Amino acid sequence: MLPKADSWEGVSRAFVWRVPDRYNIGVDVCDRWAETNPGRIALIHKQRDGGVEEYRFSDIRALSNRFANVLAAQGVALGDRVGILLPQAPETAISHVAVYKLGGIAVPLFSLFGEEALEYRLANCGARAVVTDAAGAAKIARIRDRLPELRAVFRIDGAGPDCLDWHGLCDAASDSFTPADTGPDDPALIIYTSGTTGQPKGALHAHRVLLGHLPGVEMSHDLFPQPGDRIWTPADWAWIGGLLDVLLPAWHHGVTVVSHRFEKFDAEAAFALLAEFQVRNAFLPPTALKMMRVVKSPRDRHAIAMRSVASGGETLGAGLLDWGRETFGVTINEFYGQTECNMIVSSATTLMAPKPGIMGRPVPGHDVAVIDGEGNRMAPGQLGLIAVHRPDPVMFLGYWNNPDATAAKFVGDWLVTGDRGELDEDGYIRFVGRDDDVITSAGYRIGPGEIEDCLIGHPAVRMAAVVGVPDPLRTEIVKAFIVLHDGVTPDDTLVTSIQEHVKTRLAAHEYPRAIEFMDNLPMTTTGKIIRRELRNRS
């Protein structure tokens, strides 16, 4: 999508969006390559036992067609939602492609979500089917009676109680399928994003969202693709960073993706993976970079040969950028965005000089500005709200079944990210801080509302408030301030019990690593928790 030029100014002047009248993500990332270059390798998957599988684009087309036929046979139709509760795996990618071809709406779900997190998301979107494995199926079994719209659960590791055999059904299905005739504005994807109050909101994206991501992906990987490129990320494909910053853009360009699910991220193993599969491009979240930085002299043991490394989620300092140049031989390019409107700001070493502590310039095609509360552009050096002007191909259609929240996201035609920043004289945007209470921990954006709701479900907890507090490795950790029921005495056993309550019901990355017990929470006269006071205590 990006025109060839030797500067950001040149690329920006020449850039033009080309969004076709009819467009389907599944056809784009799969079928056209299967037709023109069927033997091209789409995916190299390293299994947990060390075995390696390779899938050609022709394999992805045949398997996605088979699963689209399976879904249709189970009554899944145009516009129906399909949950995909899986880690990085071939079946995850294939299921996404199949849902898009069918004209359904994919709902990626993090495999570490607990039952409460899954129940809310699956009920909220009215999912008709879920693709998962044995671990996910066990969670769904315990909540299925509260999901009346859920018709079918497919397991990729064999049939089970009330579950269908993904592979068995695909083997018996036809590998011919006529994709739905979708337009670029037809819905394709719901990704749930955390907010400061209440439950997570489902950001509904159209098929054009992939096209909208391409300039940012290409820019953050120094004019991706180049001959020989091969990409990997440890980021889960359940999040927008893994799915739309890596997997789908790479397949749009016919670039091979390497996949592997670490049980727990291992920095030494990450270097080994980069070397073993000759990865040239990687999206490495800041927390992964910080963990990898601890590994001493990795190039002495691992023959890595990177062409580009991109990172997003928080600003990297000069020290981390210097380490990246020494370790990878390239300058790490930073990018910025959010689930509702992603990859809108980026650095690119080939097009502009990097500025440590500043995330970059607007990606060509996106009108990004710093505005005031009335929607007026702020002058360079003035602090304001980071915002994106609509229409924009990467921008979401709205929050699923939540028009009020959608309207609140905009000031006129400006989508307000909720982050504060300032523009410098050269057009770079500096991130200053969040305008809300979303917690950024290990690259995840975590909303306090869902955690607070879960905490209150613990039998000892009367009231709870959650904030993010600084942490040198994770940027922030979740800290909970808790008021106990009368007669309950706080101790270490209770702390562990409360932490496990959240960890098993929501997700491991959302549990409060720090807990402080209080007699009362600071609140406004209207009953809202004053989180600012809680942060000041930490």
* Contacts for 341 with CB less than 8 Å, ≥ 6 apart: 388, 392, 394, 395, 396, 415, 417
- Name the amino acid, one letter, at 487: G
Domain coverage including residue 507:
439-537
Q: Is residue 371 part of a domain?
A: no
Position 1 scores a pLDDT of: 77
Query: pLDDT higher for 444 or 131?
Result: 131
Mean pLDDT of the chain, nearest integer: 94
Position 70 scores a pLDDT of: 98
For tokens 């000031």, what's the residue? 411
Report the alpha-carbon distance of residue 239 to residue 443 in Å, rounded.
Answer: 10
At 138, is the pLDDT very low, low, confident or very high (cuts 50, 70, 90)?
very high
Q: Is residue 357 part of a domain?
A: no
Position 346 scores a pLDDT of: 97
- Mean pLDDT lowest among 89-93, 127-131, 355-359, 433-437: 433-437
Exposure string for 267-293, b = 16+ CB within 10 A, e = fewer: beebbebbbbbebbbbbbbbbbbbbbe
* pLDDT (average), residues 355-372: 93
Position 357 scores a pLDDT of: 77
CA angle 467, 469, 475 (to 5 degrees): 120
Tell if the pTM clears 0.75, that is, is over it. yes
At 530, is the pLDDT very low, low, confident or very high (cuts 50, 70, 90)?
confident
Q: Is residue 489 part of a domain?
A: yes
* pLDDT (average), residues 379-389: 95
- Single out the residue of 173, 294, 193 nearest to residue 240, CA to CA: 193
Position 195 scores a pLDDT of: 58
pLDDT score of 525 more than 70: no
- Mean pLDDT lowest among 4-18, 188-202, 317-331, 403-417: 188-202
* pLDDT (average), residues 217-241: 96
Please provide residue 254's backbone torsions phi and psi, each rounded to the nearest 5 degrees: 75, 25
Q: Is residue 325 part of a domain?
A: no
- Structure-block tokens of residue 68: 């689209």
Q: Is residue 48 part of a domain?
A: no
pLDDT score of 337 more than 80: yes
At 51, is the pLDDT very low, low, confident or very high (cuts 50, 70, 90)?
very high
Number of domains in the chain: 1
Write a three-state SS string for 241-279: HHHHHHHHHHHHCCCEEEEECCCCCCHHHHHHHHHHCCC
Q: Is residue 91 part of a domain?
A: no
- Mean pLDDT lowest among 33-37, 318-322, 431-435: 431-435
Torsion of CA 391, 395, 396, 397, to 10 degrees: 10
Q: Is residue 490 part of a domain?
A: yes
Per DSSP, the chain holds a count of helices (H) and strands (E) of: 18, 27
Report the alpha-carbon distance of residue 472 to residue 425 in Å, rounded.
Answer: 31
pLDDT score of 196 more than 60: no
Position 502 scores a pLDDT of: 95
Position 307 scores a pLDDT of: 98
Position 523 scores a pLDDT of: 77
pLDDT tens across 275-310, in order?
999 999 999 988 889 889 889 999 999 999 999 999
CATH code where residue 481 lies: 3.30.300.30
Q: Is residue 35 part of a domain?
A: no
* Contacts for 533 with CB less than 8 Å, ≥ 6 apart: 522
